[in-house]
Structure 1
Amino acid sequence: MYCFVNKNLLHSSIGLRSLSAASCEAAKPHSNCTTVTTPLPDGHRLSKAMAPKDAEEIAFMKTVPYRQLVGALMYLAVATRPDISYAVGVLARFSSNPGPGHWKAAKHLCRYLQGTKDMKLTYAPDPHAPELFTTFSDADHGGDEDNRRSTSGMVVKMGTGAISWASRLQTIVTLSTTEAEYISAVQSGQEIIWLRNLLSEFGYEFTGPSTLYVDNQSALAVARNPEHHGRMKHLDLRHYWLRDVVEAGDIDIEYLPTKSMPADIMTKALGRLKVVEMRGMLGLYD
C-alpha cells in the first residue's frame, strides 16, 4: 500500500485505484437511505432567492449542519471525487445564508454519494493518449442565477484517470459563450504550464507542446490566431497570455466535441446517462 496526502492508493498490474470506501462518512447521516443517480437534479440551479424567507425557515436552518457538511463534501471533491466538484462548488456559494432549498440539494448530493460510495479513481495506461497528460476545458456561459457569471471546468488526465480538476465561478461577466470558453481555457492553460514545470523538475523532458482540448471553435480560433482578437479586445490583457504560450509552442489547442468532453461535468448539473458517461471519462469506476 502507498499513502499519498491521506488517500490510500492500491497498486495493481492494471494501474492505481484510489481507495475511497470511507469517503461518504460525512454523507451518511444525511443520505436518508434512498440513493439517487446524479450529484444534483438534471439542470437544477440554486440561487440566493432560496435563502430563508421567514422566521420558521431561519429557525430550521439553525438546526442543520449545512456549513460543516459542505466543508466535508469539499474535501471529497478535491481529493477523490471529481464528479461532485460542480455540485459542491455551487453549494459552497450559499454558505453564508443557506435556505431549505440549498439544504435539500446538499442532502441530494449525500444520497448520490451513498449510492456511489464504491467509486474509485482508476489509473492505467491509455493507448489513445500519446502525451504524458492531456487537459480538457469547458464553460457554462452565464449559468449563475444571481450574477450571470459563467462556470469554468477543467480536467487533467494522466492515462485513464483524472489527476487534477477544477470547477470555479469566473470572476467577470462574459458577453458571449466564446469569451466564457476562452477564459476557462486560460485557466486550464495555467495548470498545464504548472504541470510542465513540475514534471520538468522531476526530470521529464517535453519534446513538444501539451494539448488543451476545448469544445468551442470560436474560442479555439481566438487562441490560435491574433486576427480574431477584435471580438475579445475588451478583455483584461492577462487573458491574452494563452495566445503567447500557444505561439511559444508550449500548448497546442485542439477541438473536441461536447459529447466527448469530460470537463462538461464540472460546469453544470447533468442527467443520469451523462453522469455515468462522464464518470467513465474521469476514470471513476466501482
Structure 2
Amino acid sequence: MLVYVDDIIVTGNDNALLNHTLEGLATRFSVKDHEELHYFLGVEAKRCSLGLHLNQRKYVLDLLGNTNMLGAKPVATPMATSPKLTLQSGTRLADPAEYRRIVGSLQYLAFTRPDISYAVNRLSQFMHQPSTDHWTAVKRVLRYLAVTLDHGILLTRGTNRCLHAYTDADWAGDSDDYVSTNGYIVYLGQHPISWSSKKQRSIARSSTEAEYRSVATTSIELNWICSLLKELGVSFTTPPVIYCDNIGATYLCANPIFHSRMKHVALDYHFIRNQVQSGQLCVVHVSTKNQLADAFTKSVSRAAFTSVSGCLYQLLY
C-alpha cells in the first residue's frame, strides 16, 4: 500500500486479502469507491497487451501549453553537445522566476523519463543565476519533450529476477569547478527501476577515481533496492552486477594489490571491494559503446544518444 496524503494505491497478488484491506480502510476512514489505477500524482498508468505503461503525457502537455511550446520545432536530443553550459555563458536573466519554475517541473518529470535526467541535472545547477544560454537550453528540452510525449516506463509480466546496473562518470566534465558527474541506471530484469545523474562531492584526481566513486554510489543504491525487495519477499539467486567501462575501476573493486595505488581515495568507498570478495556484488567491465549510463553523465550527439540509449528506448513505450 502506497500512501501520499489522501492518494492511496493498494496492490497485491491475493484478491481476497486485497478486498479485505479495502473494506478495512472503508470502515475506519471516509474513502471513495476504489477503482482501477489510471492516474496517481501526475503519473498516468495505462494497461495494454504488453503490461503496465507509466508516463506523464498529460503533465508534459500542460507544461508545454503553459510555456507556449506545443508547436515548437522538434529536436532529437534534450541537450546540445556544444557549446557547453557554464556559469558565465550568456547574459544573466533579469527575472529568473520562470526558469526556476520550469526546471522544477522538469525535475518531477524525470521520475518517468530517464532520458532527460542529465539535462535536468545540468540545468538545475544554474538556478541561482540563470542566463539567456541556460534559458535556451531549457527550451530545447521542451522541444524534445514535444516529440516524445508518449515516452515512459513499460512494466511487463514474467521478467526475470536479475538485478543489474550500468554506471559511468564524466571525469572533470564541469569546466567551472572540474567536478565529475556520476550516472547510473538500475534494472530489475529488463525494467529500469532507478536512475540518477548527479555531480560528485569533490574533485577526482584521475578517471579511475571518478569511475570508482561512481561504482560506489551505484552499489549503495543496489544495497537499498535489495533490502527493499527482500522486505517484499523478492529473492535473488545471483548477486547484483554493476557494469563499468573503466578497466582500472573494475580491477580496483576486486584486486587488493592494485587497490594500494589508490590510497588517496576516501576509505568509505572501499566497502565495494569487501562486497565483491564476499560474493554480494559483481563488478564487470563493459565497452564504452555498450555503456547505457553514458548519457547520464554528459551531453552526447544524436547518434550516440540513440545508440548508447538504444536498450533504454526499447523500454520507453
Name the TM-score, length of structure 2 as normaliser.
Answer: 0.81
C-alpha distance in 1, partners of 2:172/2:293?
A: 17
Report if aligned partners of 2:246, 2:285 keep a CA contact under 8 Å in 1. yes
181 and 30 in structure 1: CA distance in 2 versus 1, 3 angstrom threshold: farther
CA RMSD of aligned residues (A): 2.1
**DSSP 3-state at the match of 2:217:** helix
Q: Is the 8 A contact 2:118 2:296 kept in 1?
A: yes
Correspondence for 1:36 among 65, 75, 80: 75
Q: Which amino acid aligns with 2:72?
A: C
CA displacement at 1:207 relative to structure 2:
2.9
Distance 1:131 1:220, change over 3 A: farther
Contact 2:161-2:236 within 8 A present in 1 as well: no
Query: Does the 8 Å CA contact 1:209/1:252 hold for their aligned counterparts?
Result: yes
What's the CA shift for 1:20?
A: 2.4
User: How does 1:1-286 map onto structure 2 within 5 Å?
Assistant: 1-2=36-37, 6=41, 7-24=43-60, 25-28=62-65, 29=67, 31=69, 33-50=72-89, 52=91, 57-59=92-94, 62=95, 65-77=98-110, 79-124=111-156, 131-282=161-312, 283-286=314-317
Distance 1:124 1:278 in 2: 22
Structure 2 unpaired stretches of 5+ = 1-35
Rounded to whole Å, the distance in 1 between the matches of 2:235 and 2:244 is 25
Aligned residues: 277
Partner AA of 2:265 in structure 1: L
Is the 2:289–2:308 Cα contact (8 Å) retained in structure 1?
A: no
The answer as to whether partners of 2:93 and 2:130 remain within 8 angstroms in 1 is no
Q: Please, which runs of 5 or more residues in structure 1 have no aligned partner?
A: none
Q: Normalising to structure 1: TM-score of the pair?
A: 0.89
- Cα deviation, residue 103, structure 1: 0.6
Query: Relative contact order: is structure 1 or structure 2 higher (C-alpha 8 Å, sep ≥ 6)?
Result: 1
Spell out, residue by residue over 1:130-157, the C-alpha distance to the aligned partner (whole angstroms, 9 max, x if none): 6432111011100011100100001011
Cα distance between partner residues in 2 of 1:4 and 1:186? 35
1:212 partner letter:
I
What code does the residue aligned with 2:289 have? K
Report how far residue 231 of structure 1 moved. 2.8
How far the C-alpha of 1:258 sits from its partner, in A, is 1.3
List structure 1 runs of 4+ shifted beyond 3 angstroms.
124-127, 277-280, 283-286
Amino acid at match of 2:79: L
149-158 or 5-14, larger mean C-alpha shift: 5-14
> 2:183·2:214 contact (CA, 8 Å) conserved in 1?
yes
Q: State percent identity of aligned pairs.
A: 34
